[in-house]
Amino acid sequence: MAIIIGVINNLLGTESKTIYIRMSVGLVVFFILGLYIREIIYKLYEEIKEKGEEEKKLKEQQEVKVEEIAAFAEGKRTEDEMLAVLEKSYQTPEPTPPPTPTPPPEAGGGYGYGMYGGYGYGMGHSGMGLGGVILVVLLILLLLGKL
């Protein structure tokens, strides 16, 4: 995106210093936007995964109930056994604490999940992170004599 900002401003005849500032701001803004979007995707992934597990549990419970009712109808279960099974199935389990957010395994490596800061450090621009991007931009501006 910074390249597009630079090309457009260069074609419009904008001063070089202004172009560099706009490019730097564009890098930072899109990096932060990327982090925000990544967090939203991880939350959606976790919600879908949890919903699938809940549906699977409910389906298993319903299958058990149907099997128990069929066994009762065939005379394989007594009335007391049937009531015990039904009471057990309607008991609510203790609430479990919410899981800590973890990235999906297909998220890849990089500095974002390694030893440099752990989860949330950021993998923008090939894993350099925000600080690396800023240092590279400042170094280029310094070498070009613009700072």
Domain region containing 49: 2-93+102-143
User: What is the rounded distance in angstroms from the CA atom of residue 17 to the CA atom of residue 89?
Assistant: 70
User: What is the rounded distance in angstroms from the CA atom of residue 68 to the CA atom of residue 75?
Assistant: 11
The angle that helices 16-73 and 129-143 make with each other, rounded to 10 degrees, is: 160
pTM: 0.43
Q: Is pLDDT above 50 for 11?
A: yes
Res. 128 pLDDT band, cuts 50 70 90: low
Structural domains counted in the chain: 1
